[in-house]
Structure 1
Amino acid sequence: MTIPTEPIGSIPRPAELLAAMAAHASGEIGDAELAAAQDQAVRDTIHRLEETGSPVVTDGEQAKPSFATYPVAGLDRLSPDGVVIPFADGHQRQLPRLTGGPFRYAVHADGYLRAALRHAGVPVKQAVIAPSALSLLYPADGIEGYPRERFLDDLATEAETDIRRCLEAGAHVVQLDFTEGRLSLKLDPSGGVLEQFVALNNRVLERFSDAERARIGVHTCPGGDQDSTHSADVDYAALLPRLLQLKAGAFYVQLASEPEPDKVLGVIAEHLPAAARVFVGVTDPIDPRVETPEEVRDRVLAAARHLPVERLGTCDDCGFSPFADDTSTSRDTAFAKIRARVEGTALAAQDLGL
């Protein structure tokens, strides 16, 4: 037995891809040229991930406009003035607003997965956006002729399809990105919005068998964009007991950047579902300093004092570039941190006699 280790998802885009994206947006190049630049970036990303020794890789989300909005890229019936997400450093991200129904995905994530599988020699995981995040597209004042419950029905069906298509295409695991979970407690400290999010995500997860759910995980973090977060000041103890009620086979939990990791691990241990594995974050993508393998090892050993080692895995705290225009972290730094995670996890496994 060893300790599994996986990336979360996004890797900073190379300069060539960013240039191609800008040229495509201005009409200087066409769709084929952009697709070629994206494929080359995916190829390079997977190659460099494999060079780190990573036993599982991703496409680095090189072709996604963002981790959150890929399903609605190019969709009509959208207005740009949706929910605003404020970050601690003052910058904001804004979601689009749905203006009519029925709601359908314009893009499904299995397309990204299939492109990655062509270049990978090891298992590939696929990140998808949680339906709870996309529920924020529906306006608070409703849509005439398209009530919220009908929207949620459509959303649940689309989210199920997104996950199922990835499983059927051969994903090692499908990871639901649920960064809005912690944010919801900042917006609504009563926990009411979080309860709605968990219920909606479980509404989708319940459609899968136990064997399928073993290949479905959930990632939580306080956001990580342009070296800032949107909800790191929210106490994990308010989130984790409800988060761990999600009917998933794995949980990917940001931990390296937490000021009190032992407290967090204690909460996880108390509420750990019977069959789930917890991947703890051992590298901080926001911190420009690259962790040493020994630091990673020590973080893994600390987690093993709280959690059964057979239920333990490691990951990065968050993706390194969840939005395509986020260049706050270099590709070289991202791959160096991933290498430290892989090597440090192996050191911990040795110390634990695995």
Structure 2
Amino acid sequence: MTQQTHNFDKLRVDQVGSLVPPEELKQAYREHAHGRVSDAQLKALQDKAVSDSIHKQQEIGLPILTDGEFRRRNFQDSFSRAVSGYDVPENVDALTEYREVANPFARTEQKFDLVGPAVRTRRPATSRLKLQRNVILDEYNAVEALKPTTPVKISLIGPDRISQRFAWEKSQAVYPDLDAFIADVVAIERQMIAGLVEAGCKYIHIDAPGFTAYMDEVSMERMRARGEDPKKNLERAIKAENDLIEGFDGVTFGLHLCRGNSRSVDPKTGELLAQWHREGHYDTIAEQLFTSFKHQRLLLEYDSPRAGSFAPLRFVPKDKIAVLGLVTTKSNEIETKDALKRRIDEAAAYMPVERMAISPQCGFSSDLELAQLPEDVQWKKFDVLIKTADEVWG
């Protein structure tokens, strides 16, 4: 229980969760999906990957640790692997057709309505969702068993993304409306968080990439086409995120907002190329979001012009920390301290530096099949973040 007395207000370098997985582990997941690697063999590789990564994170001086999400195929497995009730085939890990198509330098359109894993695709429910395994508690306990000397955070996908990836229109025999579905989601996730808090975790990170849908015209038009009101969806989503974390005293909650972490590789040069799922600036929803959320840390994507200016930071309340995602996970280029410090200075026009922190814009993996940065590039990017924070905040 290494986190009980830690002050996360002073955490100046944060991370979003996923790290670059070892190639051996990625291959094992592929083989496991087809029955050629056993559960025990896969677990042994997961254990080794997590142990090696925790050692490396502590070695380079990261002030907050994660297990790299190496026990997940996709960051959304924190919920989808925890529950029963979704309509998914037994061999879902072997399916590939639903995966997004590479679209270098441009928006990526996901295949939400094909058959695939729950939450990654819009699956209906065949029965009310029930908690089967507390995925995040298992992950935390496995890291704590390594006796780390640095605090550990765990990430959980939030109710908004789960609701956006639920085929409610095909589930009305089980759930009459989205309100009923979200009520179950919040209740289940509160069970998961309660177990995590009891085990000693004091920093819980909620992944909420779906909120950028409410500033993206394409996404909102899809909602309307399904008979949904984007404004009502947003209000419901904010309430659900706040209900999720209510009453967990002494626990720091972070909320991560981004436009998607998709990447591809340039077929001509082999260079990693940025893609994204949503467009639009925070400006259109910042005041409503930032002033409504009860989370203490807001992890915001600010690595490209798609994010817009820092002006929306003026709406961040005085009791919250804005974590600026200034370092990209979508390019091999290593940011410089001077460039990061200039960006922090720009942000300081809208809020005090004392209420800021810095981080990568998203996870370094998010999905095992996503195009990845080389692992050494990832560590170099963290090194720049750490050295920049030392110079800015001491």
Q: TM-score, normalised by structure 1?
A: 0.87
Per-residue CA distance 1:70-125 (angstroms, 9 max, x = gap) = 322285543359x9989844452532513222212344212111112233221111
Query: Does structure 2 conserve the Cα–Cα contact (< 8 Å) formed by 1:79 and 1:98?
Result: yes
Give the drift of 1:154: 1.4
Q: Which runs of 5+ in 1 are unaligned?
A: none
Out of 236, 239, 249, the position equivalent to 1:196 is 236
Alignment correspondent of 1:143: 172
| Segment drifting more, 103-112 vs 59-68 | 103-112
Query: What value does the CA root-mean-square deviation take over the aligned residues?
Result: 2.6
Alignment correspondent of 1:255: 302
Over 3 Å counting, the alpha-carbon distance change for 1:89 and 1:260 in structure 2 is closer
Q: SS at 2:326's partner residue? A: strand
- How far apart, in 1, do the equivalents of 2:70 and 2:63 lie? 20
The one-letter amino acid of 2:168's match is: P
- How far apart, in 2, do the equivalents of 1:74 and 1:9 lie? 18
- How far apart, in 1, do the equivalents of 2:88 and 2:378 lie? 31
Over 3 Å counting, the alpha-carbon distance change for 1:151 and 1:288 in structure 2 is same
Aligned length: 342
- How far apart, in 1, do the equivalents of 2:303 and 2:194 lie? 31
Over 3 Å counting, the alpha-carbon distance change for 1:326 and 1:53 in structure 2 is same
Alignment correspondent of 1:216: 253
Q: SS at 1:104's partner residue? A: strand
Alignment correspondent of 2:281: 235
Alignment correspondent of 1:101: 127
- How far apart, in 1, do the equivalents of 2:187 and 2:277 lie? 29
Residue 44 (str. 1) matches residue 52 (str. 2): yes
Query: Does structure 2 conserve the Cα–Cα contact (< 8 Å) formed by 1:71 and 1:105?
Result: no
- How far apart, in 1, do the equivalents of 2:138 and 2:12 lie? 26
The one-letter amino acid of 1:92's match is: Q
The one-letter amino acid of 1:198's match is: I
- How far apart, in 2, do the equivalents of 1:50 and 1:294 lie? 25
Give the drift of 1:152: 2.2
Alignment correspondent of 1:117: 144
- How far apart, in 2, do the equivalents of 1:96 and 1:179 lie? 15
Query: Does structure 1 conserve the Cα–Cα contact (< 8 Å) formed by 2:18 and 2:364?
Result: yes
- How far apart, in 1, do the equivalents of 2:307 and 2:161 lie? 27
Over 3 Å counting, the alpha-carbon distance change for 1:324 and 1:239 in structure 2 is farther
Query: Does structure 2 conserve the Cα–Cα contact (< 8 Å) formed by 1:185 and 1:194?
Result: no
Over 3 Å counting, the alpha-carbon distance change for 1:59 and 1:19 in structure 2 is same
Runs (4 or more) in structure 1 with deviation over 6 Å come to 83-87
- How far apart, in 1, do the equivalents of 2:108 and 2:362 lie? 20
- How far apart, in 2, do the equivalents of 1:172 and 1:225 lie? 30
Query: Does structure 2 conserve the Cα–Cα contact (< 8 Å) formed by 1:300 and 1:345?
Result: no
Over 3 Å counting, the alpha-carbon distance change for 1:91 and 1:168 in structure 2 is same
- How far apart, in 2, do the equivalents of 1:60 and 1:162 lie? 19
Alignment correspondent of 2:110: 92
Query: Does structure 1 conserve the Cα–Cα contact (< 8 Å) formed by 2:159 and 2:185?
Result: yes
- How far apart, in 2, do the equivalents of 1:183 and 1:260 lie? 13
- How far apart, in 1, do the equivalents of 2:12 and 2:25 lie? 31
- How far apart, in 2, do the equivalents of 1:267 and 1:52 lie? 33
Over 3 Å counting, the alpha-carbon distance change for 1:2 and 1:275 in structure 2 is closer
Give the drift of 1:15: 0.6
Residue 177 (str. 1) matches residue 195 (str. 2): no
- How far apart, in 2, do the equivalents of 1:234 and 1:207 lie? 33
Over 3 Å counting, the alpha-carbon distance change for 1:239 and 1:123 in structure 2 is same
Alignment correspondent of 2:3: none
Over 3 Å counting, the alpha-carbon distance change for 1:84 and 1:28 in structure 2 is closer
- How far apart, in 2, do the equivalents of 1:326 and 1:85 lie? 10
Over 3 Å counting, the alpha-carbon distance change for 1:84 and 1:140 in structure 2 is farther
Per-residue CA distance 1:186-225 (angstroms, 9 max, x = gap) = 222754432221122122233434x33xx11101111112
- How far apart, in 2, do the equivalents of 1:74 and 1:278 lie? 30
- How far apart, in 2, do the equivalents of 1:4 and 1:164 lie? 26
Alignment correspondent of 2:5: none
Out of 56, 59, 78, the position equivalent to 2:86 is 78
Task: Calculate percent identity across the aligned residue pairs.
Answer: 23
Out of 258, 266, 272, the position equivalent to 2:311 is 266
| Segment drifting more, 53-62 vs 179-188 | 179-188
Give the drift of 1:337: 1.0
Out of 333, 337, 341, the position equivalent to 1:297 is 341
Alignment correspondent of 1:206: 246
Query: Does structure 2 conserve the Cα–Cα contact (< 8 Å) formed by 1:80 and 1:96?
Result: no
- How far apart, in 1, do the equivalents of 2:389 and 2:123 lie? 42
Over 3 Å counting, the alpha-carbon distance change for 1:242 and 1:107 in structure 2 is farther
Per-residue CA distance 1:5-44 (angstroms, 9 max, x = gap) = 1111111211110121122112122111111101111112
- How far apart, in 1, do the equivalents of 2:261 and 2:12 lie? 23
- How far apart, in 1, do the equivalents of 2:189 and 2:11 lie? 30
